[in-house]
Chains A and B, each alone.
Chain A
């Protein structure tokens, strides 16, 4: 070999090979995008389906693992492996893993993201027989949350409705024997229960408004908006409908509560309510499980009532949010994945705590075991029949009239924009009019751009 064919001892061919090896990983990464893990792939080996969820720790992780273990023990050909991350990292994990070719076969997204995930081509529409089963077995809010553009993309799992949590002791001390049923009563109770010290520190919030997370900041505002007959996004999903009399009424109510000192948005209501320093707060049903664990004996002071409506004769409505289990478009075994989901979400098992012969789906049993609800009202009634927490009942009743959270493409961004403007209203940066105007301009621009 002549020296012209050698580069520092390496032949050109070897050099090219080395160069290719160095550049291959990114090339493979690019070409392998969105390819989920598929097991060994050898003939005769079991198919391994991966399930990516936010049931990452404690009771939630154990609750999901139980039926998965049962499936794996009773099915030879198809096995399921769970992967979990904290909820705050879930969307980011979907995005990154999918882009890196590590997307799971079965995804467990928050329904708010469905529009975004469908638009990105991540979620596979439910086959017709599954879609029919979902439509038949679940409440309207759950089916709506799992659908995008009228098409169903998965089995609804956890469904959360919003109601009014109240501290019975604080209301009683302020002269109220029952929780408020109207906004006027809510305001009156909020002003009478609020307390501050001479330095302006909040001792008791009459009505909890917190900027801690979306559940409180946006969730409670949208729940009140729904209760007033309004919606955040128009029916066609192409503009916001918050700049309406209902939206104005909610923003006015919250603004008054802050200005008159009944609410302190800077305080974390999750902590403050637990320590008896918030009289009332709007939140979702999942909180009951945490409150029971964290508050111990003090939990007896906690009551839950349906969300107050503007007028006594008003029609009930509230917000519902949810999760669903869907199948990745890149999964090579969609049929098996749907089959597992059907088994988990529709196959009935006996309920020990209920009367003899009573049955519920594995998913409903799983949810109730961790203090949550599903969109299957029939299952929930069976599971909550005897000895269960009465505070869960208003959330169950709300499944009948709850309005699903809009999940159009760009919904997460629209929600963030709403949250920012609500915070700007609460902190005096914007007036009610300015907030509504800004939300309309920003959200309209966003949801129209996303198509």
Chain B
């Protein structure tokens, strides 16, 4: 059997000597056969991955689409009851909490997290870039990433408690206590701060890499022109950091929109629905209430939201001349 991967095979086909000696028809056949063989081999190599995607992505996706238009309690496949678009309609019916506050909370949570994490990471990454022992600082800021969400959530939960560390500091400053996670007005922002703090490490890592890729000559030229640090930051650093910022922005936003673990640990979506988000609601609908139809419909709505938000972000950055 011919070794289809052997490099000489390809070279032989494209060899001018072979082409000249056999004429166009034979040349075409010779060229096509190995290519076809290569394609078959390529597909064979791709088969495990394609099967993996088929079993763990396409199949569940199709099943979720079927469920989103059915009523199913989650046990017997024979009990799937088609209901058309009723589940989608139920999500947005008058009195449903899915649009407000759940979807609103989801967007606010993601937006708040991205804004805080991005601002914080740009600031910290820029500072770290000017310090000695940069690896140490990056490691320190990266530590929350390697800590489990459950641990982070619980530690912050205790810090936010009425008699906790944060209120202790406020009291020491002569200020009254705040019910951070108990007050519906402060609960969501309080969790946003924790999510931003926990995700800032990854952003710093990416941004410091972005900063390293900015040629030093730009800064030297700016220094010769007498530009101050603020001008250098706004006119050189930030514009040239845009590809890294785009990546951080999109990935953090998607993570924020899908956030679940931190909220279930810190507030369980409460008080009331003050911190309830789409992913948590989906989990409850499916696994607590046995309403897989509504959960799947909510999942597709969230998917659309993520898609639209990502496309909008890409469009904004492209308008500013940045391509992914």
Show the binding face of A for B, using Cβ within 8 Å: 7-10, 19, 22-23, 25-26, 30, 33-34, 91-92, 95-96, 98-99, 103, 116, 119-122, 199-202, 211, 264-267, 410, 412-413, 416, 419-421, 423-424, 426-430, 438, 441-442, 445, 449
Contacts and interface: CB of A to CB of B under 8 A. Distances in A.
A290 B237 CA distance: 59
Interface in B1-23: 1, 4
B278 interface: no
B59 interface: yes
B162 A427 contact: no
A200 B77 contact: no
Interface residues of B, number: 47
Contact of B73 (A119, A423, A426): A119
Given A7-B40, A201-B167, A121 B76 contact: yes
A430 B271 CA distance: 12
Interface of B: 1, 4, 40-41, 44, 51, 54-55, 59, 73-77, 79, 90, 93, 95, 97, 161-163, 167, 170-171, 175-177, 179, 181-184, 269-274, 276, 284, 286-291
Given A201-B162, A266-B162, A442-B97, 19 more contacts: A9-B1, A33-B75, A34-B76, A92-B287, A92-B288, A120-B74, A121-B75, A199-B175, A200-B177, A266-B183, A416-B289, A423-B271, A424-B184, A427-B182, A427-B271, A427-B274, A441-B95, A442-B95, A445-B95
Contacts of A201: 162-163, 167, 171, 177
A122 B288 contact: no
Given A267-B162, A423-B272, A96 B75 contact: no
B287 A8 contact: no
Nearest to A430: B272
B73 A120 contact: yes
Contacts of A30: 77
A116 B74 CA distance: 11
B177 A420 contact: no
Contact of A266 (B44, B90, B175, B179): B179
A8 B40 contact: yes
Top 7 A-B pairs, shortest CB-CB distance: A266-B182, A120-B73, A424-B272, A423-B271, A413-B289, A8-B44, A92-B287
18 contacts: A9-B1, A22-B55, A23-B51, A33-B75, A91-B287, A98-B75, A99-B74, A120-B79, A121-B79, A199-B167, A199-B175, A266-B181, A416-B288, A424-B271, A426-B271, A427-B183, A429-B271, A449-B90
Contacts of B167: 199, 201
Contact of A120 (B59, B75, B184): B75
A325 to B, nearest CB: 19
Contacts of A26: 55, 59
B34 to A, nearest CB: 12
B102 to A, nearest CB: 11
Nearest to A7: B40
B324 to A, nearest CB: 33
A410 B90 CA distance: 15
Contact of A116 (B73, B76, B182): B73
Given A26-B59, A423-B271, A410 B74 contact: no
A120, A200, A266, A267 pick with most chain B CB within 10 angstroms: A266
Contacts of A7: 40, 44
Contacts, number: 125
Contacts of B284: 416
Nearest to A98: B75
Contacts of B41: 8
Given A91-B287, A92-B288, A420-B272, A200 B184 contact: no
Contacts of B289: 116, 410, 412-413, 416
Nearest to B95: A441
Contacts of A116: 73, 289-290
A199 B176 CA distance: 4
Contacts of B179: 266
A450 B158 CA distance: 38
A91 B183 contact: no
A427 B183 CA distance: 6
Nearest to A428: B184
A429 B184 contact: yes
Contacts of B175: 199
Contacts of A211: 182, 270-271
A438 B95 CA distance: 8
Contacts of B269: 420
Given A121-B79, A199-B176, A91 B270 contact: no
Contacts of B276: 420
A92 to B, nearest CB: 4
B286 to A, nearest CB: 8
Contacts of A8: 4, 40-41, 44
Contacts of B79: 120-121
A416 B181 CA distance: 19
Contacts of A95: 74-75, 286-287, 290
A55 to B, nearest CB: 21
Contacts of B181: 266
Given A121-B79, A421-B272, A441-B95, A98 B288 contact: no
Contacts of A103: 75
A10 B47 CA distance: 13
A413 B291 contact: yes
Contacts of B176: 199-200
A22, A91, A96, A427 pick with most chain B CB within 10 angstroms: A427
Contacts of B288: 91-92, 412-413, 416
A19 B59 CA distance: 15
A202 B182 contact: no
A273 B289 CA distance: 32
Nearest to A445: B95
Contact of A427 (B161, B171, B272, B286): B272
A8 B37 CA distance: 8
